[in-house]
């Protein structure tokens, strides 16, 4: 393999970004998914549509608006500045915020599907066994939605690794700060370093294949046992 | 029943659909002892009533007092997890991600937490062992629900509902999802439940057989309204009900085996007044039995004839005569001491015998079923 130090740096940065984003997305996405799965409110449609927007928007459009929002005069920028954090564009945490929004549907939708599949009955049963709402969530919803959490984690992680457009708009191309693998490949190609581009690209292809394979295997195993089927 | 008895369950619920039509409108006082059957056809509102009592359904207008304790009124609605109930659902409702043992532990853990008792307190483990024994589930505790039969799953579910140490056990057609053989397998456990644990049970069912076998009291629902309620034998002897329920008329009698005839393989059952002979079905002498006599198996005679094949003849008094659904037939309610019999005969026969309320005549019983 012909991986330069810069390549290794890009790989580490990508892994760090994807891990951070996945963990934060599980924390943020779980209540959103639970709300979407349970609510009867008219807000359900609009909120679900907003969550799903990144699926259809060009990354440049999303990146453009995020850039403005996070800039010195945007509402996110004003918030971060008032907290003494400066502005987010062209920083690692800027990428984290952008990636969370960009990968949100890949985490929220599998969670929501898994939670909806549980149905009302197990929760009613738990209530008649003296389990309060929080107890019910941790003792029933989380374990029964486990396949959804596995799918959501894998998709959220993989999708963040595969980002390019939003990163370029928000993060630019700063070594060890915002230059992730996809940007590094782009750089190699730009400067006609096809050999290095090959190494990194092949690595990403293999990674993506393994991830998707793991996903399909985990889904097959789970559908054979118990996705929310009360026996 | 007195209005403010502390040993009853006062229910008053009204549920309306989208068109503001009431599909449940009940107001009653249910005794908080023994098994009370909530009987009716599907769509009669019996499951809705049970769900209201459990707090799983919130009635627009509701009032619920259990043994003097308010669970729901205009200003209060106790959430399901705060009501001291056990609930057995129609289809087995075990948590699929837990073994049978852990399903039980789910209840035990929370019951102990509520009662602030230690897990290893003698009272808890004594109850645990007794529930396991009565339900006969010792050998299947380490299986996952998917590895159990429907009957086994339902027994675990009943055990789990008992282990939460409810003050009121609600059962929503616990046998309806099972085939005939599984039903027969579980019924004895339900009877033992009745005798082993002193918990009042509300038992929703549309099966007259189950009700006849298990219940002490009955509440009959039709189109969301109570059309009869009271002691089982009393309600069964009413001759105006079967038409509305499209059920075969018949009475339930409590009796006791008092004698066995080895030669003819018969046993003699005594009621408060009167007695009958039955084929010996293995009951012990002195054992209490519950017997169902269908109206079509009872015929009437003015005199006691012994020159006929029917062995069981009891002296009774005519209490009420009424047309049956079928225009040619009549139902006759008869008193036998404190008990009742119902006979079904043609109107022609009632005319021929010149039956009148208050007459003393002879009831001939062709066939009898022991339900317990």
Strand, coil or helix: what is A212? helix
Q: DSSP strand E in chain A: where?
A: none
Q: What is the pLDDT at residue A227?
A: 37
Are B79 and A127 an interchain contact pair (Cβ–Cβ within 8 Å)? yes
Give percent above pLDDT 70 in chain B.
Answer: 95
Closest to A33 measured CA to CA, from A137, A163, A136, A187: A137
d(CA B326, CA B346): 9
Compute the distance between CA of residue A129 and CA of residue B83 in angstroms, rounded to an integer: 9
Residues of A in contact with B55 (CB under 8 A): 127
Q: What is the tens place of the pLDDT at every residue in B258-288?
A: 988 889 888 999 988 888 888 888 888 888 8
pLDDT above 80: residue B328: yes
**pLDDT at residue B1, as a whole number:** 41
Q: What is the ipTM for the molecules in this complex? A: 0.82
Indicate which CATH number applies to the domain containing A133.
1.10.3720.10
Residues linked to residue B320 through DSSP beta bridges, in sequence order: B333
User: Is B80–A122 a contact, with Cβ atoms under 8 angstroms apart?
Assistant: no
Name the helix (H) or strand (E) containing A200: helix A194-225
- Nearest-CA distance from A115 to chain B in Å? 14
pTM for the predicted model, two decimal places = 0.82
The rounded distance, in Å, linking the Cα atoms of B163 and B38 is: 23
Average pLDDT, chain A: 89
**Helix, strand or coil for residue B301?**
strand
Q: Closest to B145 (Cβ–Cβ): which among A126, A132, A231?
A: A231
Structure tokens at B72: 């729901």
Q: How far apart are CA A3 and CA B289, in angstroms?
A: 88
**CB B89 to CB A130 under 8 A?**
no
Q: HSE, CB side, 13 Å, CA atoms: give it for residue B98.
A: 22
Q: Are A204 and A185 in contact (CB under 8 A)?
A: yes
Alpha-carbon gap, residue A139 to B81, rounded angstroms: 14
- Who among A121, A129, A225 is closest to B164 (CB)? A129
* Helix, coil or strand: residue B353: helix
Q: What is the CA radius of gyration of chain B?
A: 23
Whether A195 has a pLDDT exceeding 70, the answer reads yes
Which pLDDT score is estimated for A156?
A: 94
Residues sharing a CB contact under 8 Å with residue A112, sequence separation 6 or more, in sequence order: A33, A36, A37, A148
* Chain B interface disruption, residue of A114, A121, A127, A129, most B CBs within 10 A: A129
* Listed range (A181-190, B62-71, B116-125, B308-317) with the worst mean pLDDT: B116-125
Separation CA B165–CA B86 (nearest Å): 7
pLDDT surpasses 90 at B87: yes
Question: What is the number of domains present in chain A?
Answer: 1
Residue B169 has pLDDT above 80, yes or no: yes
Instruction: Give me the residues paired with residue B293 across strands.
Output: B251
Residue A229 has pLDDT above 70, yes or no: no
**Closest alpha carbon within chain A to B115:** A130
CATH superfamily of B8-245: P-loop containing nucleotide triphosphate hydrolases (3.40.50.300)
In angstroms, the Cα distances linking A40 to A33, A35, A37, A45 are 13, 9, 9, 10
Q: How confident is the model at residue B85 (pLDDT cuts 50, 70, 90)?
A: very high
Tens of pLDDT, residues B32-70: 889 999 998 888 899 999 999 999 998 878 899 998 889
Band (pLDDT 50/70/90 cuts) for residue B91 is confident
Q: What is the gyration radius of the CA atoms in chain A, in angstroms?
A: 20
pLDDT tens-digit map of A133-181: 999 999 999 999 999 999 999 999 999 998 998 998 998 888 888 899 9
Angle at B11 between CA B6 and CA B12, to 5 degrees: 135
Whether the Cβ atoms of residue B261 and residue B267 lie closer than 8 Å to each other: yes
Q: Report the C-alpha gap between B108 and B119 in whole angstroms.
A: 8
The string of DSSP letters for B219-288 reads EEEETTEEEEEEEHHHHHT-SSHHHHHT---EEEEEEEEEEEETTTTEEEEE-SS-EEEEE--SPPTT-E
Higher pLDDT, A66 or A1: A66
Is the Cβ pair B160, A124 closer than 8 Å? no
In a domain, A200, yes or no: yes
Express each pLDDT in B111-156 by its tens digit. Answer: 888 776 555 566 678 889 989 988 889 999 999 999 998 889 999 9
C-beta atoms of B81 and A131 within 8 A:
yes
pLDDT exceeds 50 at position B254:
yes
Instruction: Kindly report the backbone phi and psi dihedral angles of residue B90, in degrees, each rounded to the nearest multiple of 5, phi listed first.
Output: -60, -55
What pLDDT, on a 0 to 100 scale, did the predictor assign at position B246?
59
Size of the A and B interface in Cβ pairs below 8 Å: 77
Mark yes or no for CB contact B85/A128 under 8 Å: yes
User: In this predicted structure, what is the pLDDT of residue A216?
Assistant: 86
Segment A104-141, tens digit of pLDDT: 999 999 999 999 999 999 999 999 999 999 999 999 99
Residues B176, B186: Cα–Cα separation, whole Å: 11
B237, B340 contact by CB (below 8 A): yes
Mean pLDDT of A91-104: 93
Contact between B215 and B203 under an 8 Å Cβ cutoff? The reply is yes
**Alpha carbons within 13 A on the beta-carbon side of B279:** 6
A-chain residue closest to B110, CA distance: A130
Give CA–CA dist A189/A187, Å, rounded: 5
pLDDT at B5 over 60: no
Residue A55 within any structural domain of the chain = no
Q: What is the CATH number of domain B250-255+285-370?
A: 2.40.50.100
Coil vs helix vs strand at B157: helix
Give the three-class secondary structure for B173.
Answer: coil
Confidence check: pLDDT of A217 > 60: yes
* A109 occurs within a structural domain: yes
Nearest C-alpha in B relative to A146: B97
User: Is the confidence at residue B208, as pLDDT, over 90?
Assistant: no
> Looking at the predicted structure, is the pLDDT value of residue B315 above 60?
yes
pLDDT attached to residue A230? 37
- Domain residue limits, chain B: 8-245, 250-255+285-370
What are the residue ranges of helices labelled H in A119-164?
121-128, 133-136, 142-144, 146-161
Alpha carbon distance B268, A123 (integer Å): 51
Looking up tokens 């009831």 gives B363
CB spacing of B96 vs A140 below 8 angstroms: no
Range of the domain at A160: 5-38+102-223
CA B110, CA B106: separation in Å to the nearest integer? Answer: 7
Residue B245 pLDDT class (50, 70, 90 cuts): low
Q: Cα(B312)–Cα(B336) distance, rounded to whole angstroms? A: 13
Query: CA of B22: how far to CAs of A211, B186, B192, in Å?
Result: 55, 35, 38
What chain B residue is nearest to A224 in terms of C-alpha separation? Answer: B146
Residues of B in contact with A229 (CB under 8 A): 96
CA B237/CA A8 separation, integer angstroms: 88
């Amino acid at each position: 393999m012909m991986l330069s130090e810069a390549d290794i740096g890009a790989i580490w940065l990508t892994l760090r970004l994807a891990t951070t984003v996945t963990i934060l997305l599980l924390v943020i996405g779980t209540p959103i998914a639970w709300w979407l799965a349970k609510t009867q409110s008219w807000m359900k449609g609009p909120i679900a549509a907003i969550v799903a927007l990144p699926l259809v928007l060009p990354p440049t459009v999303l990146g453009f608006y995020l850039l403005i929002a996070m800039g010195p005069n945007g509402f996110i920028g004003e918030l971060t500045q008032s907290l003494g954090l400066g502005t987010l564009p062209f920083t690692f945490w800027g990428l984290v915020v952008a990636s969370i929004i960009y990968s949100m549907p890949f985490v929220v939708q599998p969670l929501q599907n898994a939670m909806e599949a549980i149905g009302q009955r197990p929760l009613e049963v738990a209530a008649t066994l003296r389990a309060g709402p929080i107890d019910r969530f941790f003792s029933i919803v989380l374990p029964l939605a486990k396949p959804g959490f596995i799918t959501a984690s894998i998709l959220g992680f993989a999708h963040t690794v595969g980002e390019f457009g939003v990163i370029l708009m928000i993060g630019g191309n700063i070594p060890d700060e915002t230059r992730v693998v996809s940007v590094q490949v782009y750089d190699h190609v730009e400067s006609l370093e096809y050999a290095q581009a090959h190494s990194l690209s092949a690595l990403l292809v293999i990674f993506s294949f393994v991830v998707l394979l793991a996903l399909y295997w985990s889904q097959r195993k789970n559908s054979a046992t118990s996705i929310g089927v009360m026996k | 029943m007195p209005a403010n008895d502390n040993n009853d369950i006062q229910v008053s619920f009204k549920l309306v659909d989208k068109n503001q039509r009431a599909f449940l409108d009940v107001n009653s006082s249910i005794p908080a002892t023994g098994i009370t059957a909530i009987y009716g056809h599907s769509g009669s509102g019996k499951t809705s009533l049970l769900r209201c009592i459990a707090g799983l359904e919130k009635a627009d207008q509701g009032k619920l007092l259990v043994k003097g304790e308010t669970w729901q009124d205009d200003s209060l609605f106790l959430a399901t997890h705060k009501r001291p109930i056990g609930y057995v659902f129609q289809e087995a409702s075990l948590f699929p991600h837990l073994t049978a043992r852990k399903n039980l532990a789910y209840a035990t853990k929370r019951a102990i937490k509520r009662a602030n008792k230690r897990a290893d307190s003698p009272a808890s483990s004594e109850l645990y062992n007794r529930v396991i024994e009565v339900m006969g589930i010792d050998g299947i505790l380490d299986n996952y629900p998917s590895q159990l039969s429907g009957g086994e799953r339902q027994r675990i579910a009943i055990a789990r509902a008992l282990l939460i140490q409810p003050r009121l056990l609600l059962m929503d057609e616990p046998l309806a999802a099972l085939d005939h053989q599984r039903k027969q397998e579980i019924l004895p456990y339900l009877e033992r439940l009745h005798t082993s644990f002193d918990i009042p049970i509300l038992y929703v069912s549309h099966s007259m057989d189950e009700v006849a076998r298990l219940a002490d009291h009955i509440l009959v629902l039709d189109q969301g309204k109570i059309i009869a309620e009271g002691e089982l034998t009393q309600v069964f002897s009413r001759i105006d009900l079967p038409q509305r329920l499209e059920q075969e008329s018949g009475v339930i009698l409590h009796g006791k085996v008092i004698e066995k005839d080895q030669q003819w393989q018969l046993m003699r059952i005594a009621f408060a007044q009167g007695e009958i002979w039955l084929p010996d079905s293995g009951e012990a002498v002195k054992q209490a039995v519950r017997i169902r006599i269908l109206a079509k198996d009872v015929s009437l005679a003015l005199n006691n004839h012994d020159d006929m094949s029917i062995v069981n003849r009891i002296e009774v008094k005519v209490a009420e005569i009424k047309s049956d659904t079928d225009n040619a037939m009549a139902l006759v309610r008869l008193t036998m001491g404190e008990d009742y019999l119902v006979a079904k005969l043609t109107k022609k026969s009632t005319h021929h015998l010149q039956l009148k309320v208050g007459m003393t005549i002879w009831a001939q019983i062709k066939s009898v079923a022991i339900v317990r």
